[in-house]
Chain A
Amino acid sequence: MRLVVDAIGKSFEEKQVLNGASFQFEKGKIYGLLGRNGAGKTTLFNCISQEIEYDEGTVYMEENGEKKDISYDMMGYAFSTPVLPEFLTGYEFIKFFLDINRDRIKDPRTVEEYAQMVGMELPDLDRLLKGYSHGMKNKMQMLCLLISKPPLLLLDEPLTSLDVVAAHEMKELLLEMKKDHIIILSTHILQLAQDLCDEIVLLHQGKLAGVEDLDCHDKGFEEHVMELLSQ
C-alpha cells in the first residue's frame, strides 16, 4: 500500500503554497516532512486529508495496483494544536470514540487499557478535557489514532508539546505502529526527524523532494538539509 501525492497545487490568494508537489509514501515507513516556517506543511496535510480542496493534482491510495480515494476510514490526522470537546472527561471521550468506531476496531480493549497505552494516569480519565494540559490533549489525540488504526497517519508536529517521558513513549509507539501504516510527521526539529524517521521529505518552494544519497543518520545530513532548504 502507498500514498500517492501527484502534482498537487494550492494557492491562497496570490500566494502559491503548493506548486506541483509530488511524492509516493510507502507503508512500513515513517516519513519526516521538513520545511521552513510557512512552507506549507500543514496545507499539504490538509490537502491529503481532504480538509481543504486543492487546485490541481490528485491524492490517492494505491493497493495492489488499485487506486482508492482517501476516505475518513483510511486516514488519521493529529493536529499540532489538539482541539477536543471540553465538556467530556477523558473516559467519556474514549468511550464515545470507541462506540462510534466499534465496527472498525479489530481487537477492542477497555477504556482504561487504552489510556494506559499512552501512559495516562487512571485518575486523569475522570477529569474534564478542559483541564488537560496540551501534552495530555495530544496524547488523547494520538490515542484516537491508536484505537482506529487507519492505514495513513498524518501527524502535525506531534511530539513538540510532550514531556521527555511522554515523547519517548510516543516515539516507541510510532515505531511499533509503523509496520502496518504509512506515517508522515511534520516537524521543525531535525534531530527528531533523524531519530524517528526512515525517510526525510523536504517541502520547499511548494514542491516535495526526498533527501537521497545520504542516510539521515549520517554526520553530513544536517548540512545537506540546510543547504537544500536555503536554496
Chain B
Amino acid sequence: MNNIICQFQLIIAQKINKLIYTVLNFRPLKGLISEEWYVRSDIKKALGILCMIWNVLKDIIWKAFYFILVIIVPNSLLAGGLGFEDNKALGNMFAWTFLICSCFMGTFTHSRIVTDGNEEDYLLLNLMRIDAKQYYLTRSLFQSASQTVYWAVAFLLIVGRICPGHTGVFLWVLLCYICCRPIGEAVSLKLCEYYDKIPYQDKSPKVQGGYYMYNFAMVLLAYLCYPVLYLLQSRLGDKHIQVFHPLFDVGRFSLGLQAVLLLILLVAAVVSVRYLRAYPKYLQVARICCGFARVTEKQKQAEGAGSIETKLENSLDEDEVPERLFPNKNGYDYLHAIFFERHKKLLRRPSQIKRWLAEGIFAVAALAVIVSRFVLSGAQFQSMSDSAWKAVNLLLPILVFVMYSFSSGEKLTQAMFFHCDASLLKYGYYRTPEAIISSFRIRLKYMLQTEVAFILTFCVGVFVNLMLLGRFRNMLQIVAILGCIVILSVFFSVLFLCMYYIFQPFTEAGNTTSVGYKACNIGVYVAAYSCLQLHTPPTYFAVLLLSVTVVTMVVGILFVWKLAPKTFRLR
C-alpha cells in the first residue's frame, strides 16, 4: 500500500509542478500566480485532489469514447451494411469485439511491466530505488483494478442504454478482462526472456512482424467474425437474417462455452500470477525498459514528435570519409556548395518527385491523345481537343494551387535551418549583414536551379500535349500558360526563402514560433486557394499573375535586404 501511495504522491506532485510551470510561463496568464505556488503545500494538496478526480473522470470518458468509436460505430456500420439489425446480435457483437480487442489483443501487446522508456518507472525505480518486483506487481495490480472499475462505469453508462439485457454478458467479458491482464503480463515477460530484449518494441523484423501479424489477426477476428458467420448462415438458407455466434447466441451451449472459457482464463491467470510473483529478474527488466538512455531517447522522440526537425531526415553518415569538394570555391560559395552537395538527396528529392510525377502524367496524357487520334474520327478528335482546351483554360487557376502544393520552398528552408544555420548563426561572422545577404543570394540561385528540371518537364509536357491535340492556333495562350508555370514555380520558392530570411521562424527545439511567418503562410495558402475561384482567359490570367508575382518577389527581396540583417537570428 505504501508503495502505491508513494507512486501516487510522486506522479501527482510531478503533474502539479508541470501545471504550475505551464501557467507561470503562459503569457496571457502572466502574473496570475507566482513561483511561491511551488512551495504552498495547501494549494498543491487541493490541486492534487482535483488532479486525481480529473484523472479518474478522464479515464472513464476516454474509455467511453473508445467503446463508442472502436466497438459501437464500426460494428453498427458493419451490421447496417450487411442488413441485420437484430439488437441482441448487435449487443453480442460489441461484447465479442471488446473481448478480442481489449482482452486478447490489448492485454498481450500493451504490458504495464515491459514498457518502453517510461519516465515514471525511471524516476521510481532508478532514482528513488524502489524495489522493482514490489513496484511492478503493485502497480500492475492497482492499474488492473482501477481500469476494471473504469470499464465497469463506462459499460454502465453506455451498455445499459444501447443494449439493455446485455449486462450479464458484459460482466462476463469484464471477468475475462481481469483474468487476461496477468496472463498478458506473464506472456510479455516470457517473450522478453525468450528474445533477451523488449518484445514488440524491438526493431528486428521477426519480432516486429510477429507483433503486427498478431494485432492484424486479432482485428480481423474481432470485426469479421460476425459478418463471416452471417454470410455463412445466409448461404445455408437461413432466411431470418439472424446470426448465431457459438459464444453468445446458442442458449445454454453458449453459457457453457462462456463458463469453460472463463475457467480456462482463470486457471491461466492463477498460473500467470504465480509466475509473476516468482519472476526473479524485475531489476533487469527495469534496466532494459527504463534506463536513463532509453527514457531520454523516448522523451526526445515525444518532444520532437510534432516538430520539424524530426520530419527532416538526416542524410549524413558520421563515419563516412567524404572527399574534398569544390577546391576552387571560396567563402560562402564554398560553404553552401558543400551543404547542397551533402544534402542533395534531401533537397533535390521533392523536386525530383514532382518531375517524375509530371513526366508520368504528361506521358500518359500524350499516349492517350496519340491513341485517340487513331481510334476516333476527325470530328470526334476535334471535339475532344476542344473539350481538353476548355478544361486547360479552366484548370489554369487551379495550377496556382497545384504549384503551391508542389512547392518545396518550405521544406528547403527548414533543411537549411536545421542542417546549417542553427549552428552557424551562433557565430558573429555568420550574422553580419554581408554574410546574410551573400548566403541569401547563393541560396536563391540554388533554389531556382533546383526548379529548372521540373519547370522544363512541365512546360514541355503541356506544350507537347497541346500540340498533339492540334492547338496550333492557340499559340499565344499556350505561351501564356507556359509563362504562368515558370513564374509560379519560381515564385513560391522565392517567397518561402524571403519569408525565412525576414522572419527566421524556426527554433533549435524544432518549433515554428514566428506569428508573422505563420500569418504569411496562411495568407499565401488563402491566396493560392482563392485562385481556384477565378475564371479568366489564360492570357489575362498570365498578365495578372505576372504582375502580382513580380511585385511580390521584388518587395520580398527588398524586405530581405532591409530586414534580414536584423531579423535573421536564432530564436
Q: Which residues of A contact B (CB under 8 A)?
A: 49, 72, 75, 77, 79, 83-89, 91-92, 95-97, 99-101, 126-128, 130-131, 144
Contact = CB atoms under 8 A, between A and B. Distances in A.
Minimum-distance CB pairs A-B, first 3: A131-B318, A72-B428, A99-B331
Given A83-B423, A100-B331, A100-B332, A92 B429 contact: no
Interface centre among A84, A86, A101 (most CB of B within 10 A): A86
B342 interface: yes
B424 A85 contact: yes
A59 to B, nearest CB: 15
Contacts of A128: 316-318, 320, 322
Contacts of A49: 428
Nearest to B332: A100
B221 interface: no
B252 interface: no
Given A77-B428, A91-B324, A101-B429, A130 B318 contact: yes
Contacts of B342: 87
9 contacts: A85-B335, A85-B420, A87-B338, A87-B342, A100-B429, A126-B322, A127-B321, A128-B317, A131-B318
Contacts of B422: 83
Contacts of A72: 428-429, 431-432
Given A89-B322, A128-B320, A79 B420 contact: no
B426 A79 contact: yes
B343 interface: yes
Given A72-B428, A84-B423, A126-B324, A100 B318 contact: no
Contacts, number: 65
B335 A96 contact: yes
B339 interface: yes
Contacts of A91: 324
B319 interface: yes
Contacts of A97: 429
A87 B423 CA distance: 11
A99 B424 CA distance: 15
Contacts of A84: 423
Contacts of B175: none
B426 A87 contact: no
Contacts of A130: 316, 318
Interface of B: 316-322, 324-325, 330-332, 334-335, 338-339, 342-343, 419-420, 422-424, 426-429, 431-432, 435
Given A86-B316, A87-B339, A92 B330 contact: no
Contact of B428 (A75, A87, A126): A75
A47 B111 CA distance: 51
A85 B322 contact: no
Contacts of A77: 428
A3 to B, nearest CB: 16
A110 to B, nearest CB: 13
A88 B428 CA distance: 19
A100 B424 CA distance: 13
Given A77-B428, A130-B318, A131-B319, 20 more contacts: A75-B428, A83-B426, A84-B423, A86-B316, A86-B318, A87-B338, A87-B339, A87-B419, A87-B420, A88-B335, A89-B322, A92-B324, A92-B325, A92-B334, A92-B338, A99-B331, A101-B429, A126-B321, A127-B321, A144-B427
Contacts of A85: 335, 339, 419-420, 423-424
B343 to A, nearest CB: 7
Nearest to A50: B428
A144 B424 CA distance: 13
